[in-house]
Amino acid sequence: MPTTERVITLEQGLTMIVTDLHGDGELYERYRDRFLALRAQGKADTLIITGDYIHREGAEECDASLDIALDLIALKRELGDDLIVLLGNHELPHLYHFSLAKGNTLYTPRFERALGEHRNQVLGFFAHSPFYVRTAAGVAICHAGSFPEAHNPAALKKLFTFSHQALMLETLGQIPAERRPALRDEIARQSGLRYPLLAKHYLAVSGPDDPRYDDYLIGVFAGQQPDFQLLWSAFFNANELDYGEEAYATHVAALLAGLSAGYVEQQILVTGHKKSHRGCELVAGGQQVRLASGSHARPYESAKYVLFDAGAPIKDARTLTIGLGSVF
């Protein structure tokens, strides 16, 4: 099964990083237009979106998730390698057919309903999204941060060349068509809800005639695969809140070392994913810059992007933060 390169190497160029826009269309347009204006002035070359650009909380009419995804697809056609859109944990559920919720907010059905005729195009974009960027500046970028498996070279190698297709084919091989009715019944027994209700509630599946009828079943089995557990660890970890400050710093160092193999030493990791006071924080002993460009900023108006030269060595995270900017 062919693998996909999930690590982008960026040798040069003034690079703008934006994180976690979560379906905020107005804010997305501000960052996009700021980048395009800077690019026109010769003050920016590459835009990196670190994932989680879908799933807005609140009223459905305020959720511009699909518009953002489609605009990024169009912008990628225009800018080519000058736009890098990483996979985030909020995009991941739509590739593996599982539900994503926080508290009383269930994210996935709204976006599943919205996809409509754009489903294949958008999910294809998600599926081809890289996971990491490494740069000649020694600055690496990803969505969520590091995790314990970063200490395992074999796990990192798998992640750096990850194949969603291989994982899904393995999953589908375990649930041939003749087994599916019984498996749906078993899921219903375990949950206490009829399978059609589960599929509708969590994935907006209209009913047994919907081509996506078995997606909920597929998601249950996909989540049991060892390779999926690696994805979960890489995309859904809570950094120092999961592992403690000291242990998490070792995970970051291990990920940076893995991304450095055969290349320039990566010394700083830039991520989004978690809330950040004043839009930017240093964690993991200063090895990681946690950037909040949207709803994760506390307060919201403190949201930031960062601009840096991907070809000029940066050895200190505080030096990198000199390039912080705001669209407010």
| Domain of residue 307, CATH code | 3.60.21.10
In a domain, 222, yes or no: no
Query: Band of the pLDDT at 4, cuts 50, 70, 90?
Result: low
Strands 139-142, 132-135: pairing is antiparallel
Q: 215-222 and 164-174 are packed helices; what angle lies between their axes, rounded to 10 degrees?
A: 110
In a domain, 309, yes or no: yes
pTM comes to: 0.96
Q: What is the mean pLDDT of residues 180-195?
A: 97
pLDDT by residue (tens digit) across 72-127?
A: 999 999 999 999 999 999 999 999 999 999 888 899 999 999 999 999 999 999 99
Name the residue among 298, 108, 110, 145 with its Cα closest to residue 233: 145
In a domain, 214, yes or no: no
Query: Band of the pLDDT at 3, cuts 50, 70, 90?
Result: very low
Query: Band of the pLDDT at 53, cuts 50, 70, 90?
Result: very high
Query: What is the number of structural domains in the chain?
Result: 1
pLDDT of 189 reads 97
What percent of the chain is predicted at pLDDT more than 70?
99
Q: What is the mean pLDDT of residues 126-130?
A: 98
In a domain, 220, yes or no: no
Cα–Cα separations (whole angstroms), residue 190 to 62, 87, 221, 234, 323 = 35, 32, 14, 28, 52
Please name the residue that has the structure tokens 């020694």: 138
In a domain, 86, yes or no: yes
Q: What is the mean pLDDT of residues 31-58?
A: 97
Alpha-carbon distance of 241 to 248, in angstroms, equals: 9
pLDDT by residue (tens digit) across 206-215?
A: 999 999 999 9
Domain that holds residue 92: 7-147+234-325
Residue 143, amino acid: H
In a domain, 164, yes or no: no
pLDDT of 1 reads 34
In a domain, 158, yes or no: no
Name the residue among 125, 86, 90 with its Cα closest to residue 108: 90
In a domain, 138, yes or no: yes
Q: What is the mean pLDDT of residues 224-231?
A: 96
